[in-house]
Each structure stands twice: as structure tokens, then as C-alpha cells.
Structure 1
Amino acid sequence: MRADRIGTSQSGLGKVEVGHNRPVRSRRLYFVGQLAATNLVVIETEHQVLDKEGRRSVNVNGPGRGVILQEGKSQQITWERNDGMIRAFANGSEIPLLAGTTWVQIVPIGTKFVLE
């Protein structure tokens, strides 16, 4: 699947758009700017709200499902954390990251996102 942009929308978290090697915009309250990434990895994780302030416990050890975007193409993945690194797999083989910037977007399980 070809993908030039991915957008996620989650109540309370704002909207984030990340593009493949092109400027993007984020409307989060604590960050406004442009980003570009060679590798975009979106991982679904378990999130648990800890208190009334909305602080969360996020499982970043995996395993879980996700999507990787590289060179304008997307691929469904499974992921897990090994040796302190989040690693993406497809068909049982690790997907190597391309040289350049890598952005990992962590979203709650079931977050809907659109690849365009």
C-alpha cells in the first residue's frame, strides 16, 4: 500500500500527522512544528489511565501490532522490544530500518488511523 501521510486522532491527545520525508504538522498543546522521518513506525500498545490527571502507564515491551512506513510504502507489522530497542517484524523476519531519522508513534490499541 502506498502511503505519503498518516494521521491519527485520539480524544484528548490532539491530532498528529507524520509524512514520509516531508514536512508535517502536529497540533499537540506541547509541540507545534514540522517533522520528517525516513522510517515511521506506528505501534499499538496497552494504555492504562493511572489517575484523574490522565497520567498513563504504557506497555512499551510488547509484543503488539503496528505499521511501518518506508519509502512511501506501508507494511503491517508485529513488534516487540529487544535489548532496549523497538523492533518491527513481518512474516517472522525483522524489518531493517533505513539510514536516517526514525519516528515511533505509540498509540492505544484500537486507535483508528488513515494512510493516504
Structure 2
Amino acid sequence: FKIADVSEIIHNTNGSEMIMIRGECYPILRLHKVFNIETEVKDLGEGIVILVEGATSNACIFADELLGEYQVVVKPFPNFFNSYGLKDRGISGCSVLGDGTVTLILDTNNLISQQ
């Protein structure tokens, strides 16, 4: 969903951001910060916030945009990718879309537990 009013954002003393949704407070995970990626979309009002459920808690993931929803088959990474620590960083595998594009699959449980 889009954030209409950024005054809904709560800043903790440790600098982390939270958002109040339907009376519940959720941490905001900014994907560009988690993966150390440059982006022009840093304002919460410009991107999209996705509420995700983890095994033990929930969080909101902030991304530039949502490209769509797809039915995919998640493929594990080949063994030589293990040295990059992708699973430890919240990427569980990959998938090949219908047009041949390779896309990474986020492990939301891992992302939430790291915060």
C-alpha cells in the first residue's frame, strides 16, 4: 500500500522506523538499506510498503515499486553461490520468469528476524 500520511511513521530512539497500521505497530525494513543498494526512491510517500507475516512477528517492507504478482517455482542457488552468504542476507533462491528474466526470492522470515 501507499503511505498517504508520513506522520504515521514512528522513529525509535535507536533510529529504526515503525508504522501504525490498524492499531498495530510494525517495523519498516527498507530493502535498499538491507541490501546496500542505491535508489532514488527514499521517501516513504514515493515507494510502496508491503505488510509481510513472519514466523514469529510481522513487518513492513519498503520498496521502490511492486512489479506484479507471479506464480513461480523457487529454485535453490547452485552450490558456488553459498560463499556469497545470500541465504544469510534474506535471499532464499531464484526463479526464472516467463520472459526469461531471473528474479531473486526474498526470505521474509529471515529478513524480519535480522531486524
Taking structure 1 as the reference length, the TM-score comes to: 0.23
Taking CA–CA contacts closer than 8 Å with sequence separation of 6 or more, which of the two structures ends up with the larger relative contact order? 1
Taking structure 2 as the reference length, the TM-score comes to: 0.23
Q: Which has the higher helix share?
A: 2
Q: Radius of gyration: which is bigger?
A: 2
